[in-house]
Chains A and B, each alone.
Chain A
């Protein structure tokens, strides 16, 4: 800092830096203040533990559940559900997008049907899924898969169709075969859209997980939360909510990291 300040060209820099740091702190200040206020109100007995446990109680429950291994067990169950559902849903979405995107006949066959199904909020299918698949793992995974399939389908399909025709044309003059056009030009060109779709799919998958785990689950984060409700344990409910939030955030970061890896050619990444 001091070394910087002695340099005449960067005289303005420390001040600007200080302002930026202050702004960054200010962003954290408000949530922190709320947390402190929450704790004070809870300690003073102004908020009952039935309505909302205090932050310290929540932290303590978090700790206890972690140490007992209970949290990890439920977390792994939930992750497995999302993993399997997402794998099935994303695979199906990719396959259908390739069929619809790469041929007109495929589009006519696949797209109209999928667009019709898409208008249905997939969570509304829960009663039907229970009748069809019972209350085991199958309806939960099916719900996640169904929800996750559409975002990746829509984005990959539009990505394939949106590939720059000028580049395609140039590639044709280079004598590329149809297969080479698909692997070298069309799919890499559609990849940025596909990754946006994947991010949406992940989001929908978490959402579906939350709903699915409220269908008579006997394990998973959702089960933990539902059981806590029966015992009026708001602290455990909050632990579940925090887990959901952190997992959603991590999943998003994962796709961002993937983007940085596979889209290195983009100037925004290149200049980093």
Chain B
């Protein structure tokens, strides 16, 4: 289903994208297509090029080699809310909007993310979840064809994260933008996306369709099977701890074995792509 859509009307079309910062290629002849309305999760270890890819799609990094077609109606939500502290919440949402009834639209978007009561608040008085909801409203109000989410829940506490994941799922169902969600969290990908792309050393190592009906349950055997498969693609053992840069779970091998052989390429790359 997803493949069919992608084939007919891709919103994102990347061919042979190469990106390097002097060293080895961060993105290495990468091809990726995302269909209209597709929810794609982008997984990968730290330094695999996830964030570089997202930044390229957001237009923050230039394309020097390869072809990248993205819609102009796109919006980004970062890990930090990145609101302007000197503008009230609703003014943050209307920022850059060139429409007559921008305020009404902002208020509607804020109501949709459950922040009707905070529209006149100063951003620095918001909680982490509220600030991230504002960032989401700011993206939503632009009616993006492509919504780029760069680990948007990573800095939130567990309960807030669950609520925000639910909210993003709801908003996607209503507005149907194509979504690229960069995440470290396999469960998050399986809860939200209908396709998981695993990036490794700047190339796509796996492209897995998540063909589960929503709402999804962790206890579903197919969920568990997909989870194990994705974790396998990410090179994590069955314990499946979320990976932290520099704290990868190493197989309990004898330390005398050549450690250099075991360290996967890319892990030692600078934190720019983290």
**B82 close to A270 (CB less than 8 A):** no
- Is A6 engaged at the interface, CB distance under 8 Å to the other chain? no
**B86 close to A176 (CB less than 8 A):** no
Question: Chain B residues near A184 (CB, 8 Å)?
Answer: 84, 87, 95
**A169 close to B96 (CB less than 8 A):** no
Looking at the assembled complex, report how far the CB atom of B80 sits from the nearest CB atom of chain A, in whole angstroms.
6
What separation, in Å, do the CA atoms of A189 and B123 have in the docked complex? 14
**A270 close to B78 (CB less than 8 A):** no
- Is B124 engaged at the interface, CB distance under 8 Å to the other chain? yes
- Is A265 engaged at the interface, CB distance under 8 Å to the other chain? yes
**CB-CB nearest in chain B for A180:** B96
Interface SS, B side: loop
**CB-CB nearest in chain B for A177:** B96
**A174 close to B80 (CB less than 8 A):** no
Interface centre among A166, A175, A263, A266 (most CB of B within 10 A): A175
Question: Chain B residues near A180 (CB, 8 Å)?
Answer: 96
What separation, in Å, do the CA atoms of A175 and B142 have in the docked complex? 10
0/1 interface trace, chain B 73-106, chain A, CB 8 Å (1 if under): 0111010101111110000000110000000000
**A270 close to B125 (CB less than 8 A):** yes
**CB-CB nearest in chain A for B82:** A170
- Is A172 engaged at the interface, CB distance under 8 Å to the other chain? yes
Question: Chain A residues near B58 (CB, 8 Å)?
Answer: 173
What separation, in Å, do the CA atoms of A173 and B76 have in the docked complex? 7
**CB-CB nearest in chain A for B55:** A169
CB neighbors of A among B111-148 (8 A):
122-125, 138, 142
Looking at the assembled complex, report how far the CB atom of B78 sits from the nearest CB atom of chain A, in whole angstroms.
6
Looking at the assembled complex, report how far the CB atom of A116 sits from the nearest CB atom of chain B, in whole angstroms.
34
**A173 close to B86 (CB less than 8 A):** no
What separation, in Å, do the CA atoms of A166 and B80 have in the docked complex? 9
**CB-CB nearest in chain B for A185:** B84
CB neighbors of B among A2-50 (8 A):
none
Question: Chain A residues near B142 (CB, 8 Å)?
Answer: 174
- Is B252 engaged at the interface, CB distance under 8 Å to the other chain? no
Question: Chain B residues near A270 (CB, 8 Å)?
Answer: 122, 124-125
Question: Chain B residues near A171 (CB, 8 Å)?
Answer: 84, 95-96
- Is A55 engaged at the interface, CB distance under 8 Å to the other chain? no
- Is A264 engaged at the interface, CB distance under 8 Å to the other chain? yes
**A170 close to B78 (CB less than 8 A):** yes
What separation, in Å, do the CA atoms of A179 and B259 have in the docked complex? 53
**A264 close to B96 (CB less than 8 A):** no
What separation, in Å, do the CA atoms of A256 and B78 have in the docked complex? 35
Question: Chain B residues near A172 (CB, 8 Å)?
Answer: 59-60
What separation, in Å, do the CA atoms of A242 and B44 have in the docked complex? 69
What separation, in Å, do the CA atoms of A188 and B87 have in the docked complex? 9
CB neighbors of B among A175-196 (8 A):
175-176, 180, 184-185, 188-189, 191
What separation, in Å, do the CA atoms of A169 and B242 have in the docked complex? 28
Contact for A166 among B78, B86, B87, CB less than 8 A: B78
What separation, in Å, do the CA atoms of A76 and B136 have in the docked complex? 55
Whether A174 contacts B96 in the complex (CB less than 8 A), given A188-B84, A264-B122, A267-B125, comes out as yes
What separation, in Å, do the CA atoms of A270 and B85 have in the docked complex? 12
Looking at the assembled complex, report how far the CB atom of A262 sits from the nearest CB atom of chain B, in whole angstroms.
9
Question: Chain A residues near B87 (CB, 8 Å)?
Answer: 184, 188, 265
**B138 close to A174 (CB less than 8 A):** yes
**A265 close to B123 (CB less than 8 A):** yes
**A266 close to B138 (CB less than 8 A):** no
**CB-CB nearest in chain B for A191:** B86
0/1 interface trace, chain A 94-137, chain B, CB 8 Å (1 if under): 00000000000000000000000000000000000000000000
CB neighbors of B among A197-227 (8 A):
none
List, sorted by A's number, 18 A–B pairs whose CB atoms are closer than 8 Å.
A167-B83, A169-B60, A170-B78, A171-B84, A172-B60, A173-B59, A173-B60, A176-B95, A176-B96, A184-B95, A188-B84, A189-B86, A265-B122, A265-B123, A266-B85, A267-B125, A270-B122, A270-B124
B-binding residues in A (CB < 8 A): 166-167, 169-176, 180, 184-185, 188-189, 191, 263-267, 270
Q: Known pairs A171-B84, A173-B75, A176-B95. 8 more at Cβ < 8 A? A: A167-B84, A170-B78, A173-B74, A174-B95, A174-B96, A185-B84, A265-B124, A266-B85
Q: When A and B form their complex, which 8 residue pairs have the shortest distance between CB atoms, in order from nearest?
A: A174-B96, A170-B82, A188-B86, A265-B122, A173-B76, A175-B96, A265-B86, A267-B124
